[in-house]
């Protein structure tokens, strides 16, 4: 028996489903998850001595590659001074200044410990600021696991407030309205239907939790205009896209200015960090400056800040990284498109810069409903083949592939060879 299987057997007895986050489970691909021992650059090494080229990148944070020397050093140095004080530190000021001085739409920022917390807090601030309660989100967009955000779709366009999870009371989701990604009319209709309008529209500016679904031309600007017309705040959930599509995230990439933005993943470089920020007059609502309460014992943790700050500094100082990431994204995703074309297979490949995925469907994927048409069984087969050939991807059709600065053309080329091998065999 493989060590990973052995560990999984032990894990399921003591951890629900054997994992500490459901996306790590291999249930949908009918395997035991690989237990990872260490990682370096774009490679991960499992407990059985296998090496994989990694396209998970810890779900985004590892944009510079795993176990990056500068970040490791920063963490070691910071931890020598103590892990947490629960008091104000200079590095938190540096972190806030570093971001606010470089990202035009972030005038003030608050650090938290996860993307979930960042979104939960941003929504509270939006409601506090506008005095309204309704929130518009899009089917298929993931914004962490707070009660109000655990509504996704089910019955399509205009249904509002059916929770996705047991344990979420209807009361927690009745003010969450669900619109269709890339469909401005669905947003307009919700805005007009609700009596006092919405406090905020929250969106993944590139949806990356239903596979990768880019915004159509004009979609994000259209949201900006609708929010302005109806007195709602526009929240970009940039937990994935922030510092990835460019230093200024999707807002910079598409040239649309949100009122509030949420960060996670890359901002912590692998440490548990999230943040939310935006216009000063809105952020001044947050306690103790203002009346919207939000707190955190470990928020702005000195070790986490050290890691995140070094990562952000590296990204800022070497912005060629974004050109390189785009080139690698093109190489991988155009490479997959070419293979599919050659084989006469009409699966869809969606990508933006260093994010992308292949949908096992012949229909263009522009929203949740079209994403769900994918053949998840065909994906599972493909996934298992890839894994056995040393390619480590998220075990789900509905996740992105993440590239890092550590992926080389050689490794991407090898990955393409494996993909071609797969489609030659079926
Ligand atoms: C991962 C993610 C979150 C939640 O972040 P956690 O750190 O897992 O709580 C929120 N929004 C988006 C877009 C994400 O991808």
Q: Domains of the chain (ranges plus CATH)?
A: 3-67+319-425 (3.90.1150.10), 69-317 (3.40.640.10)
* 164 labelled catalytic: no
User: Does the annotation count 237 as an active-site position?
Assistant: yes
Active-site entry in 237, 259, 367, 405: 237
pLDDT of 163 over the 80 cut: no
Ligand 1 mean position, distance from CA 239 (Å): 6
**114 C-beta closer than 6 A to ligand 1:** yes
- Give the per-residue pLDDT at 215: 98
Nearest CA to ligand 1 atom 14: 239
The stretch 404-420 carries a mean pLDDT of: 98
Q: Which residue's CA is minimally distant from atom 11 of ligand 1?
A: 143
Give me the mean pLDDT over the 107-120 stretch.
98
Sign of CA dihedral 81, 85, 89, 94: positive
Q: How far is CA 233 from the centre of its chain?
A: 21
3-state helix, strand, coil in the chain (%, to 5): 40, 15, 40
How does residue 101 score in pLDDT terms, banded at 50, 70 and 90? very high
Task: Give the Å distance between the CA of 145 and the centre of ligand 1.
Answer: 8
Q: Is 14 exposed, middle or buried (0-12, 13-18, 19+ CB in 10 A)?
A: exposed
Please tell me the least confidently modeled range out of 108-112, 192-196, 248-252, 334-338.
192-196
For the chain, what percent of residues have pLDDT higher than 70?
97
Distance of alpha carbon 278 from alpha carbon 281, whole angstroms: 9
SS3 state at 193: helix
Rg of the Cα atoms in the chain: 21
Model pLDDT, residue 162: 65
pLDDT tens for 22-53 read 899 988 888 889 999 999 999 999 999 999 99
For residue 207, CA distances in Å to 18, 149, 333 come to 28, 15, 17
What is the DSSP code (8-state) at residue 34? P
Alpha-helix runs per DSSP H in 318-408: 320-343, 368-371, 376-388
Asked which of 186-195, 217-226, 242-251, 405-414 is least confident by mean pLDDT, the reply is 186-195
Minimum-distance ligand 1 atom for the alpha carbon of 272: 7
Predicted local distance difference test score (pLDDT) of residue 73? 98
Q: What mean pLDDT comes out for the span 310-326?
A: 98
Catalytic-labelled residue, pool 43, 132, 134, 265: 265
**What's the pTM?**
0.97
- What is the predicted pLDDT for the residue at 336? 98
- Where does residue 231 fall: left (phi above 0), alpha (psi -120 to 50 degrees), or beta otherwise? left
């Amino acid at each position: 028996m493989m060590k990973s299987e052995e560990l999984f057997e032990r894990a399921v007895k003591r951890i629900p489903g054997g994992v500490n986050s459901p996306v790590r489970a291999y249930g949908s691909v009918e395997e035991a998850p690989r237990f990872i021992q260490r990682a370096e650059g774009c490679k991960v090494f499992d407990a059985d001595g296998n090496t994989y080229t990694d396209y998970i990148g810890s779900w985004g944070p590892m944009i510079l590659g795993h176990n990056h020397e500068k970040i490791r050093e920063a963490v070691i140095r910071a931890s020598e001074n103590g892990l947490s004080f629960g008091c104000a530190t200079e590095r938190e000021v540096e972190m806030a200044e570093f971001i606010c001085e470089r990202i035009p739409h972030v005038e003030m920022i608050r650090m938290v410990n996860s993307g979930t917390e960042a979104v939960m807090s941003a929504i509270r601030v939006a409601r506090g600021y506008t005095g309204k309660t309704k929130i518009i989100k899009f089917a298929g967009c993931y914004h962490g696991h707070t009660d109000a955000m655990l509504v996704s779709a089910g019955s399509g366009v205009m249904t509002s407030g059916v929770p996705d999870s047991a344990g979420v009371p209807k009361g927690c989701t009745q003010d969450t309205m669900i619109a269709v990604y890339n469909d401005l009319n669905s947003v307009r209709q919700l805005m007009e239907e609700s009596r006092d309008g919405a406090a905020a529209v929250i969106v993944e500016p590139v949806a990356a939790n239903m596979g990768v679904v880019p915004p159509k031309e004009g979609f994000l600007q259209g949201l900006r205009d609708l929010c302005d017309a109806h007195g709602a705040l526009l929240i970009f959930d940039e937990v994935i896209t922030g510092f990835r599509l460019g230093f200024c995230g999707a807002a910079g990439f598409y040239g649309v200015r949100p009122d509030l933005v949420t960060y996670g993943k890359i901002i912590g470089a692998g440490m548990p960090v999230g943040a939310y920020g935006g216009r000063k007059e809105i952020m001044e609502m947050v306690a103790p400056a203002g009346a919207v309460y939000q707190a955190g014992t470990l928020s702005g943790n000195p070790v986490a800040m050290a890691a995140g700050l070094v990562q952000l500094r590296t990204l800022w100082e070497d912005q060629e990284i974004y050109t390189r990431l785009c080139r690698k994204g093109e190489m991988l995703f155009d490479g997959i498109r070419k293979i599919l074309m050659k084989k006469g297979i009409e699966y869809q490949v969606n990508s933006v810069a260093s994010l992308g995925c292949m949908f096992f469907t012949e229909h263009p994927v522009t929203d949740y409903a079209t994403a769900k048409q994918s053949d998840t069984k065909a994906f599972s087969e493909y996934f298992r083949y890839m894994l056995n050939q040393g390619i480590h991807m998220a075990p789900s059709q509905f996740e992105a592939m993440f590239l890092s600065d550590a992926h080389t053309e050689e490794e991407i080329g090898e990955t393409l060879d494996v993909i071609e091998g797969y489609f030659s065999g079926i």
